[in-house]
A = this chain, B = another copy of it.
Amino acid sequence: MNTTVGVIGGGQLARMMIPAAVNLGIELRVLAEGEGMSAGLAAVQVGDYRDRDVVLAFAESVDVITFDHEHVPQEILRELVSRGVAVHPGPDALLYAQDKLLMRQRLTELGLPVPDWARVETAAELGEFLAGHGGRAVVKTARGGYDGKGVRLVSHEHEADDWFAALAEDGNAGALLVEELVDFRRELAQLVARRPSGQIAVWPVVETVQKGGVCAEVIAPAPGSEGRLEQLAADIAVRVAEGVGVTGMLAVELFETSDGRLLVNELAMRPHNSGHWTIEGSTTSQFEQHLRAVLDLPLGATDARDPWTVMVNIIGGPGVGALSERFPAAFAAHPSVKVHTYGKAPRPGRKVGHVTAGGSDLDDVVYQTRATAAIFQD
């Protein structure tokens, strides 16, 4: 039984794998981008994940390679696989988390519901798409976007000229992804885990509330999702996981349209912010499940432990020093709320922690979590 998991990337997702690893008794090694990263409490080696030799040497010390982010270059991932290293998720799957154009193309091939989209290489092509979609659209860079970066709402064909120019300068025969502006009621996220041998586990679908392109809150389960919506979301996510061959955690971000359809927005092939509620809120957290899945161990139960669980992110603001300065006030006022901080210096807009609470009264749980997060943000 191989139980040393190597995580490439030392951010908060790797950090939150540590408690799960300690509890089970699984050894975790982290290849971090720098000193003092969030996951610094695990056995950490510092090195550049874009450096082939660094990654190959790191892989020698572990039984399976997984990730805190999706940025490891395909050629390095493929060399690992060709050398017999277990890599989960593998390069064939990760490709679709790395490149949004390929993702849209693959999901369309699989017959999954997605917004109208097109690959555009020129302002003229963008203009053509705008003309066919009411004059407004969302333009995305195929690679490198996250938390609202690389995403732009446009209403004129020349509003992406800088991105076209940057793609041209790269000597990259690149293109942008343009998508219809979906008239959505709300955003949902569906988490699933999949083992290499095929077993899949599905959590309840959740509602995610974004502010400024960044996830602010998650409500589990999504209010009113019982029945049709939860079935539909689970079905879509399972089809994505199997169709793309994901191993480990998969988060499928969804739009619920005002006419009741679900459309796939984004994919993440790793533990995801929309699943932090599972640490306390589900019998098996997404972090424990990710470790089980990448080690091809039987998956744990994914039921919710409370009727409602709410997670609110702590976003760094200008006036916030060390988050621990706020522990006395937060703990005294909210003894039932679980506080997580990531060991990151607060900066405006940066996710530096989150809080979670559960209970049977959704209004109260929302109040408790928002009030606690506010103590760390004012």
B-contacting residues of A (Cβ < 8 Å)? Answer: 1, 3, 15-16, 18-19, 21-26, 28, 41-43, 279, 283-284, 292, 297-301, 303, 305, 322-325, 327-328, 331-332, 335-336, 338-343, 353
Contacts and interface: CB of A to CB of B under 8 A. Distances in A.
Q: From DSSP, what is the main secondary structure of chain A's interface residues?
A: mixed
Enumerate the 7 nearest inter-chain pairs by beta-carbon distance, A residue then B residue, closest first: A25-B341, A19-B19, A298-B331, A298-B332, A301-B336, A1-B324, A301-B335
Nearest to A333: B298
Given A1-B327, A335-B300, A340 B279 contact: no
A40 to B, nearest CB: 9
Given A41-B42, A343-B25, A336 B283 contact: yes
Contacts of A336: 283, 300-301, 303
A2 to B, nearest CB: 8
Contact of A23 (B28, B305, B338): B338
16 contacts: A1-B325, A16-B22, A18-B41, A19-B19, A19-B23, A22-B22, A24-B340, A41-B42, A283-B338, A284-B335, A292-B331, A298-B328, A298-B332, A300-B331, A300-B336, A303-B336
A212 to B, nearest CB: 24
B22 A41 contact: yes
Given A299-B335, A331-B292, A340 B25 contact: yes
Given A22-B41, A41-B41, 11 more contacts: A1-B322, A1-B327, A18-B22, A23-B339, A24-B327, A24-B339, A41-B43, A283-B336, A298-B328, A300-B331, A301-B336
Contacts of A299: 331, 335
Contacts of A283: 335-336, 338
A86 to B, nearest CB: 16
Contacts of A325: 1
A21 B343 CA distance: 11
A24 B341 contact: yes
Given A43-B41, A331-B297, A340-B25, A324 B15 contact: no
Nearest to A339: B24
A344 B37 CA distance: 28
A343 B26 CA distance: 8
A15 B24 contact: no
Nearest to A299: B335
Given A1-B324, A325-B1, A25 B331 contact: no
A61 to B, nearest CB: 15
B3 A324 contact: yes
A118 to B, nearest CB: 43
Contacts of A26: 324
A328 B25 contact: no
Contacts of A3: 324, 327
A15 B22 CA distance: 8
Nearest to A353: B25
Contacts of A297: 327-328, 331
A12 B338 CA distance: 23
Nearest to A280: B283
